[in-house]
Amino acid sequence: MSEYAIQLRGVSRQYPHFQLQDINLALPTGGIMGLIGPNGAGKSTLIRIMMGLVGADAGDVLVLGHRIPNAQVLAKNDIGFASEDMRLYKNATLQWHMHWVAKVFPEQWDGAYAQQLLQSFDLIAAQKIKGMSHGQRVKSGLLLMLARHPRLLILDEPTTGLDPVARKEVLNEMMQVLADESRSVLFSSHNTQDVEHLSDQITFIDRGQLVSSKDKESYLESWRRVQVKLPSKEALAPHPQITEVIQHGHSANLVIKDYAPDMLDHLTAQGATIGTVSRMTLEEIFVAEVEYKRNQTAAGVNP
C-alpha cells in the first residue's frame, strides 16, 4: 500500500481566465483532508485533475500509487467519487442503480451494507430518482459509492444544498465511514463547519493557488484574535504577525498569525493593555489566511 493516498507535485493548469498554479499536496493514507476555498478557487478543477477528468498542463499526479491520467482505471477502481453536480438517471429507481453498480463491482459491492445505508439514510429503493428531493438524491449517490467500500473517497462539495437534517445524516454516516483508519478521504467544501467537524488535515486554496496545508490543530493553535486597549489613538506599529487591525479610538481588535504568548509581550511593550485572547474558528482562520496571502501577493512578497 502506498504511503500517500494522493500526491500532487507542481500541478498547473491554465485556462483563459483562470490558472491553477504549482499545486503541491500530499494526503497520507488513512488521512482526512478538507479542501476549503471560495467559489471559483479551483477546488473542483483540482479534484477533476485527481480523477483524470481534466488534464494538467504540468506536474505529477499520483492517486493510490497510480499515475493519473494514464492509470486512472486502476485508481478509480478504489475511489468513491461524489460531487454536488453529480446526478443519477432520473427515470430509473435507486434499486436499478444499486443493481447496476453491484454488477459493475461484483467483488466490492456489499449488499448488506447497502441495505443498512438505505435504512440509515431513510431512502426507498423502489423510488425513481426524479421523485426524490435533492437531499435524497445526494444520499443515494453516497450510498452507491459507500456500499462498494472504496479505499479513497473524493467528495466535491458533498453537503452543498442539503437541509440541516439531511446534512446531519450525511455527516453522521461520514463519521462512521471515517472510523476505518485505512480509508483516506479528500473532500472540498466552502462550509468550514463540516470540514472542521470531519478533517484532520486542512488545505486552503484561493485563486488557483494553494494558500496553506496543515493539520487542523496547527491552524487552530497558530491563530488568535486579541482585544487590546491602546494608550493613544495612534495606529499600532505594524508587525509581520499581526495580519489585521480594526481600531476604534483606544480599542483595537487584532488578528495574529503564528501566535505565541511572547507576542503579547510585544504588545504590552507598546503600552497596550491586553483584553481577551480568543481562538478563532476555522472559517475566521480561512478568511484571515486568504486575506493575508492576497495582501502578500499584492505587495510582491512571497509568503
Partner 1 sequence: MNTATNPMTTKPGLIKALVRKDLELNAAPLALYLVVGLISLWLLTFDSKGPFYAGSVLLLSMVIVASAHLVINTVTTERDDQTLTFIMSLPITFIQYTHAKICANLLGFMTFWLIMWAGVMGVIFSQAEIPNGLAVYATILLLEMLAVFVLLLGVGLISESQTWTIVVMSLTNIGLSLFMYWLSSVAAIKSHMDAADPVWNATAWTIIAAELAFILLALGLTYYGQSRKRDFL
Q: Which residues bind partner 1 (CB under 8 A)?
A: 48, 51-55, 69, 71-77, 79, 81-83, 85-92, 100, 103-104, 141, 145
Nearer to partner 1, 96 or 292 (CB): 96
Least distance CB 57 / partner 1 (angstroms): 9
Query: Which residue's CB is nearer to partner 1, number 157 or number 196?
Result: 157
27/244 Cα distance (integer angstroms): 31
Q: Which is nearer to partner 1, 27 or 145 (CB)?
A: 145
d(CA 133, CA 190): 22
Sign of CA dihedral 287, 210, 282, 63: positive
When the beta carbons of 90 and 168 are compared against partner 1, the nearer one is: 90
Largest CA distance in the chain: 74
Q: Are 13 and 45 in contact (CB under 8 A)?
A: yes
- In 3D, which of 64, 5, 9, 36 has the Cα closest to residue 287? 36
By beta-carbon proximity to partner 1, the closer residue of 13 and 207 is 13
Q: How far is the CB of 44 from partner 1 (least distance, A)?
A: 9
Q: Among 158, 163, 165, 164, which residue's Cα sits nearest to residue 140?
A: 158
Shortest distance (Å) from residue 3 CB to partner 1 = 23
The least distance separating partner 1 from the CB of residue 71, rounded to whole angstroms, comes to 8
- N- to C-terminal Cα distance for the chain? 35
Question: Residue 267: what are its φ and ψ, rounded to 5°?
Answer: -70, -45
Minimum distance, C-beta of residue 197 to partner 1, in the bound complex (Å):
24
